[in-house]
Structure 1
Amino acid sequence: MKFKNFPMVPRVIFGRGCFSQLQEILMPRRKNSEAPFIFLVDDVFESNQELISKIPLLFGDKIIFIPTDEEPKTEQVDVLVSKIREYTTQSPSGIVGIGGGTVMDLAKAVAIMLTSNGKAEEYQGWDLVTREAIYHVGIPTISGTGAEVSRTTVLTGPEKKLGINSDFTPFDQVVLDPELTNGVPRDQWFYTGMDCYIHCVESLNGTYLNAFSQSYGEKAEDLCDEVFYNGKLSKEETQDKLMMASWHGGMSIAYSQVGVAHAMSYGLSYLLGTKHGLGNCIVFNHLEEFYPEGVAKFKKMQERHEIELPKGLCANLSEEEFETMINVSMGMDPLWENAVGKNWKDTITRVKLRNLYEKM
């Protein structure tokens, strides 16, 4: 048996206020004064001068504000790469992503495509990237997606929603500063945190489970329980622990996979543009058949935090639209195999998925 030799993030800094050390971190990676750092920043911070003033701009460094109302798209990656190439004649010293999962995924994808030929959609899949990405840094400002540690960058393309999964995807440096999560809206905080919780449930109940994944998944689930279920933490403890839950949750699927909720939420996102965390919550809420204990606890956490999930998303869809969602979902072979086993197509039928989507 041949085991996969996965790369991990080689350098990480954690601590409240560690964002202030960014200049110290980046300086040794500067090629020269003509090779700028490009900062991709969630546009929610465009008017936040306190944060913007801490970004260590030198020489020709550039900030590009990223709209995050929609899930990241392959076309968006191509536009950003073209914009950066027009801006500088030299290859940038690096890409720095500051924001949530959307910005994390875009930063990883842009770093890859700056050294790759063609369009981003051509690299959606597993191990299609053959060239090392330029230096890239991830700085999450919300916790839960695990995008800061994962080897994928999930993108919606013209034909599918699928990640660029490769050894060149993970960040070279991650900055984990819990203070950056101040001001996250409550609903978004819950949906993104539940993305982490669902990672854990799907990994720990999957056929791919092994001691590596289990050790990280169990720790992440324990931290999610502390944050969302027990409810006895201070604000600072909540921020610190959820940021580490996100990290451990992302690590739990490095040697494993996610499952049913993610496979079906990709269909929602591709067709309806449903944000990833919210989509996972909407789907997971109906998956008692697959994850009875996990769904029961999810419903209690939802009630405890007074979260109302949207209903009727699929109420008025056409036959063609249902077929599109089902096609996207059924294209997630590794996710279904992890959830159900190698013979997953014997039980996961188009009719079954249609019935589940009709509940949402």
Structure 2
Amino acid sequence: MYVFKTADTIITKVGIASEIGEHLSQLKQHVQKALLLTQPALQKSGAVEKVVASLNQAGVSVDVTTDVEPEPTLSNIETVYQATLNVTDYDVLIGLGGGSILDTTKLLSVMKTNDMSLDEMLGSDQVKQPGIPTVLIPTTSGTGAEVTPNAIVTLPEKELKIGVVSSYLLPNLVLIDAALTTGLPKPITAATGMDAFTHALESYISNKANPISDMFALEAIRLISANIETAYFNGGNIEARERMLIGSMYGGMALTAAGTAAVHAMAYPLGGKYKIAHGVANSMLLPHVTQFNMDAIETRLATVAEPMGIKKENQDEKEMAQAVVDRIVELTKILEIPQDLSAYGVQDSAIESMAVAALDVKRLMDNNPKQLTKEDVKAIYGKLLA
């Protein structure tokens, strides 16, 4: 048996964010007041102004907050809640931004309707009640958060990130607008794009992989592989940007159906302690963890070669699987993604504690196709230290 849930409604169109007011009818309720969570950069670009104008034209008053931090902590999210939803009632929450904004929007929604702290929501299926309606508008092609039941929170005291997983986090409306991504800097394009690729690949080889997740994972791999270099080197290419957004969304759907694994588990301590961007951490770890998993996933990994655009020239299954790993390494070099943890202040002495923290993310480690010991995890981290 396979169960798959995602956002209620998804609309894809270049420029649709500027038409948001016309689509609020999808929420099936009258909307008078909205809270828009976004980032300062999107205010400077004019994107926020266009969204607010469309909402105002539809008769909706809007409050705007830019107080969500990158990789938000539990305390930051609670502070935003106290300053907004705790003092004002809203008919809808709108998230316009990257994964941190989208995740926070989802969490604020259920914090308003559940008589429990955010700390009590950590983990899987702890949320008891649906939240207030949400509209999510991604501005990076990376997290797929707009279609997942997951939200990630940073816990500095544990030097770790942890997820809230609940079907009540799934949004009511998603607007996919490639026009919002054409100005992304190259490093963000690279990191978020490889993050989305990691979602797809890990979902495809995970222990919970199934026909539904496979469909989304393989198409995500195909779209991202074919378009990430164009998006990186020619950011104004709207077709490449739109395909990257759709590929990212499919990656989110794949992980919703199958879940990620050891790459993500090992990335969490890097983000939690060293503030390494999630997409960068995933990109650094992906080839090494995939190589470790090779003997457990060789047959399946070989089938990824074709959607990655790797040509088969009298190569056997083993060679095709290795070609996938080699291509991932090549992509990280082309996209100039760092490969040295020491550049972020990581030292050999930290590997032990990072390995313990990673192994503690059992939800993801248990989904890996091959069991990792502490020594295995330490060895993989060690490969990223010059």
Letter in 1 for 2:325: V
Q: How does the TM-score come out when normalised to structure 1?
A: 0.88
Name the SS for the 2:93 alignment partner. strand
Inter-CA distance 50–333: structure 2 relative to 1 (3 Å threshold): closer
Letter in 2 for 1:297: R
Letter in 2 for 1:127: D
Match of 1:263 in 2: 265
Q: How does the TM-score come out when normalised to structure 2?
A: 0.82
Match of 2:368 in 1: 339
Letter in 2 for 1:283: L
Superposition map of 1:1-150 within 5 A: 3=1, 5-26=3-24, 31=30, 33=32, 36-49=33-46, 51-55=48-52, 56-57=55-56, 60-68=61-69, 70-88=70-88, 91-150=89-148
Inter-partner Cα distance in structure 1 for 2:31 and 2:272: 41
Compute the displacement of 1:59 (Å): 5.8
Which of 290, 295, 300 is the aligned partner of 2:293? 290
Q: Relative to structure 2, which stretch is displaced further, 289-298 or 194-203?
A: 289-298
Compute the displacement of 1:324 (Å): 3.6
- Equivalent pairs counted in the alignment come to 347
Provide Cα deviations, 1:229-250, integer angstroms capped at 9, x if missing partner: 6889981211111011011111
Could you tell me whether the CA contact under 8 Å between 1:213 and 1:256 is conserved in 2? yes
Note the residue ranges of structure 1 that are not aligned, 5 or more in a row.
none
Inter-CA distance 24–269: structure 2 relative to 1 (3 Å threshold): same
Inter-partner Cα distance in structure 1 for 2:28 and 2:223: 34
- How many percent of aligned residue pairs carry the same amino acid? 23
Inter-CA distance 60–46: structure 2 relative to 1 (3 Å threshold): same
Match of 2:329 in 1: 299
Compute the displacement of 1:118 (Å): 3.2
Normalized per residue, which structure has more helix?
2
Inter-CA distance 60–314: structure 2 relative to 1 (3 Å threshold): closer
Pairwise CA RMSD: 2.5
Superposition map of 1:175-194 within 5 A: 175-194=175-194
Provide Cα deviations, 1:271-304, integer angstroms capped at 9, x if missing partner: 1121111111122243322254443111222333
1:225 aligns with 2:225: yes
Name the SS for the 1:289 alignment partner. helix
Could you tell me whether the CA contact under 8 Å between 1:94 and 1:134 is conserved in 2? yes
Note the residue ranges of structure 2 that are not aligned, 5 or more in a row.
295-321
Name the SS for the 2:11 alignment partner. strand
Name the SS for the 1:340 alignment partner. coil
Letter in 2 for 1:109: L
Compute the displacement of 1:350 (Å): 1.6
Compute the displacement of 1:47 (Å): 2.0
